[in-house]
Structure 1
Amino acid sequence: MDEEGTSRDHVGSLERGLAVMEILARHPAGMTLTEMAEEAGLTRAGARRFLLTLAATGYATQSGRLFSLSPRLLTVARTWLGGASLWTFAAPVMREVAALLNEACSAAVLSGEDVVYVARVPGRRILSVSLDVGTRLPAHCTSMGRILLSGLAPDELEAFLGQAKIERRTPKTITDRRSLAAAIAKARADGFAIVDEELELGLRSIAVPITDRTGGTVAAINVSTQSARFSIAEMEREILPALLGAKRRIEDFFFV
């Protein structure tokens, strides 16, 4: 849209009203009309109109000389959050990671013995298989799978290790169940998992968990790269910090 169109469609009073709401949010103990006028850069008459309108519509309350936000705003926020997917919020963060590293960034959840991709930002083509939302890959030989398995309760992990079909995908695939259990335990202790050419030769990936308010693992995000581009040490040094930063942003936005 051009500048003239933007200016014509811009509603200045709405912008100022939203600014008043943001200022009230920063002062949970309440504000007087004079305080609002000073902080918002409004006249007393203008501040009064905005505050009384917010009170009349239920978005603010008035107690004597003090105005405060009301719980109605929380209801609006919960309605919005309830109708939106975690991956709606995560996608822009994942795009930043992919752009920073020039590599693919993906997210997955555990489904039986597989991981199922729930979000993906493509990078360089490094797999012979096509990956997209809905793709399933075996959990035992993928970095996101190792992280998701590390978040299982002990009895659930024991059941997986006892029943899962552990196939050798490459000469490097861990198929011994005790060794696999040790790799999963290491992922749990480290807070990340690196899988080196176990799914496909030439492919390395690193994953971290996405955890909810209770500390439970709800998903995983990873970065996949060619083994020629990053050594394992370089993945820990250069890719892991970006993934951990993305993890914190996603969790803070959606779960806090």
Structure 2
Amino acid sequence: MRDADPVGPLKRGLEIMEVVGRAGGPLRPADLVAETGLARSTVDRALSTLTETGYLRWKGRDVVATPRTMDVGNLYLSGLDPEGALAGRVARLADDLDESVVLAVPDRDGGRVGGRDDVRDDVRDDGRGGVRGGVRGGVRIVGQSRPRGSLAIVFKVGDLLRFPFNPSGWELDDEFLEPGLVAVAVPVQAAVGPFALIVVSHASRHSAASLQAHARTSLTACVAELEQVAAHPPHPDEARTPGANGHLKARLGAEFLQSLDRGLAVLHAIGTRAEGRTISEVAALTGQARATARRALLSLTVLGYARESEGRFALLPRVLDLGYRQVSGLTFEELARPHLRDLVVRVHDSASVVVLDGADIRYVARAQASRIMRVEITIGTRFPAYATAMGRVLLAGLPGPEASDLIVRSDRRALTGRTLTGADDLRREVATARQDGYAVVDQELETGLRSIAVPIHASGRVVAALNIAAPAAREPVEQMRERLLPELRATARALEADVAAFTRHQPLPL
């Protein structure tokens, strides 16, 4: 292979991931054929590999990106901001100014897709009869924060903006990004490379010049802090590099593109190190032959996902195009729904995800079982936490005094003849749920209804509860526990893995 020739299956697989990532919704294989110009058989083989390895998922006859596509983007972002210190300072600046703030990196090649430029060079009047040129490709957003408001300025991490990057001074934008928007940008010098710190506002609030005057003091202070933090960033934790999927090759045969699978493992192995990794290091991490790892690294460099300097390879911001932008815009319901559907298919009972809302639980995701007798509940429904398995699991995730206070403040009415209403009794039930890692409530909310619930964790705390509800007359409570608890826990682990990928560099939208 000539060094300039990328590995064909890897190139085509990444192109399909980019197309799915740009779509913002499900795509059919025929859509991918039309968008990429690839043969249907080629698209089918790439989809077989990407769905089997978990990067894409079938939704009926369509494919969508999964949270696993965020992994490489998370590695890239972690290399820039390992402990979230930059993101925290950007959020404080947004609060101080009451304006949207964006942290971006220059991306010269981010607009190149399949050999064409999707983002043109910026050539603009400089106000003195001349022109000024921006960086080809624009800037790539790697962090953003905005104040609350009805007229929101919404960017997503990974978005590529046609915005000129001036590494030596301030830059004003007067309705170039979009009519009605003004912006001011200032460079931030860092060990991992320059950033652009951009404040964006509505033209109804500011002109470009007045925004600069409004933001100057706070922006200058923020830049100084960011440069101090970014001068010597801590070494980030390395994510696990996916191993070889030889069993899939053995099972799927020609439908599994091993070179695509190996190339994606190499992409993960490059990791978060700003200085990059050598071919030998990547080969050792992936368990591949040095020649195989070299071919993949050179391919990724040619395709614009990695750069090479002095024999070391590092990630480039274009990796955010591999599904990160699409998946990062999902709601919590959209994250949970595929897992609930799979659970319902396995157990044939309805399943839900709820969050704690004051002293109540609130349903945020649900999948209904196809039964004549089933539990009819809609998203947004609220029930008192004390009388539900989900509520007791969520209370168990709180510090003891906080859980006790919520119990005391609850309107503890007897909803059925079995409902526990005593504060001490409920504290014991919550303590048991905390110890066991699950809760069962038998006909305390409604006669004839029984449910079992487990917690969903994110960043070391309980953020939601997953439950299955079923008619109590169908089976004894012990049999229900033995049948459903393993399935609930397996689903909770799978959902938690998606939530962990989703929340690595952004909050969970509960």
Equivalent residues of 2:336, 2:353 under 8 A apart: no
Number of the residue aligned with 1:99: 345
Alignment partner of 2:473: what SS?
Answer: coil
| Distance (whole Å) between structure 2 residues aligned to residue 188 and residue 103 of structure 1 | 25
Cα 1:11–1:68 shift into 2, 3 Å: farther
1:220 to 456, 460, 465: 465
Equivalent residues of 2:297, 2:313 under 8 A apart: no
Alignment partner of 1:62: what SS?
Answer: strand
| Distance (whole Å) between structure 2 residues aligned to residue 184 and residue 198 of structure 1 | 15
Cα 1:76–1:205 shift into 2, 3 Å: same
CA drift of 1:131 comes to 0.8
Number of the residue aligned with 1:180: 426
Number of the residue aligned with 2:302: 53
Equivalent residues of 2:412, 2:421 under 8 A apart: yes
- Percent identity of the aligned residues? 32
Residue identity in the other structure for 1:62: E
Alignment partner of 2:418: what SS?
Answer: coil
Q: How does 1:4-15 map to 2 (within 5 A)?
A: 11=38
| Distance (whole Å) between structure 1 residues aligned to residue 390 and residue 290 of structure 2 | 52
Which is further off, 118-127 or 10-19?
A: 10-19
Where structure 1 has 5 or more consecutive residues not aligned to the other structure, the ranges are none
- Superposed CA deviations along residues 34-93 of structure 1, whole A, max 9, x for unmatched, are x899649x9x7x985x34433xx3x20113445443365268766445422233222111
Number of the residue aligned with 1:205: 451
| Distance (whole Å) between structure 2 residues aligned to residue 161 and residue 27 of structure 1 | 48
Equivalent residues of 1:210, 1:251 under 8 A apart: yes
| Distance (whole Å) between structure 1 residues aligned to residue 320 and residue 361 of structure 2 | 34
Residue identity in the other structure for 1:242: E
1:112 to 354, 358, 378: 358
How many residue pairs align between the two structures? 245
CA drift of 1:20 comes to 7.2
Alignment partner of 2:463: what SS?
Answer: strand
* Greater Cα radius of gyration, structure 1 or 2: 2
| Distance (whole Å) between structure 1 residues aligned to residue 493 and residue 428 of structure 2 | 26
Asked if 1:247 is matched to 2:501, the reply is no
Q: How does 1:119-134 map to 2 (within 5 A)?
A: 119-123=365-369, 124=371, 125-127=373-375, 130-134=376-380
Cα 1:228–1:87 shift into 2, 3 Å: same
Where structure 2 has 5 or more consecutive residues not aligned to the other structure, the ranges are 1-26, 47-256, 271-276, 281-287, 502-510
- Superposed CA deviations along residues 148-202 of structure 1, whole A, max 9, x for unmatched, are 1111122321221221101111100001111111111111110000000101111
- TM-score, with length taken from structure 1: 0.80
Residue identity in the other structure for 1:53: V
Q: How does 1:160-171 map to 2 (within 5 A)?
A: 160-171=406-417
Equivalent residues of 2:352, 2:365 under 8 A apart: yes
Equivalent residues of 1:117, 1:133 under 8 A apart: yes
- TM-score, with length taken from structure 2: 0.43
| Distance (whole Å) between structure 1 residues aligned to residue 470 and residue 458 of structure 2 | 27
Cα 1:231–1:30 shift into 2, 3 Å: farther
| Distance (whole Å) between structure 2 residues aligned to residue 150 and residue 239 of structure 1 | 20
Alignment partner of 1:219: what SS?
Answer: strand
Alignment partner of 1:200: what SS?
Answer: coil
Cα 1:52–1:185 shift into 2, 3 Å: closer
1:24 to 260, 263, 266: 266
Residue identity in the other structure for 1:110: L
Cα 1:5–1:194 shift into 2, 3 Å: closer
Number of the residue aligned with 1:139: 385
| Distance (whole Å) between structure 2 residues aligned to residue 25 and residue 143 of structure 1 | 42
Cα 1:126–1:167 shift into 2, 3 Å: farther
Cα 1:30–1:176 shift into 2, 3 Å: same
User: Root-mean-square deviation (CA), in Å?
Assistant: 3.5
| Distance (whole Å) between structure 1 residues aligned to residue 363 and residue 450 of structure 2 | 17
Structure (1 or 2) with the greater helix fraction: 1
| Distance (whole Å) between structure 2 residues aligned to residue 69 and residue 36 of structure 1 | 21
Residue identity in the other structure for 1:222: N
Which is further off, 169-178 or 87-96?
A: 87-96
Alignment partner of 1:182: what SS?
Answer: helix
| Distance (whole Å) between structure 1 residues aligned to residue 406 and residue 345 of structure 2 | 35
CA drift of 1:27 comes to 3.6
| Distance (whole Å) between structure 1 residues aligned to residue 38 and residue 261 of structure 2 | 13
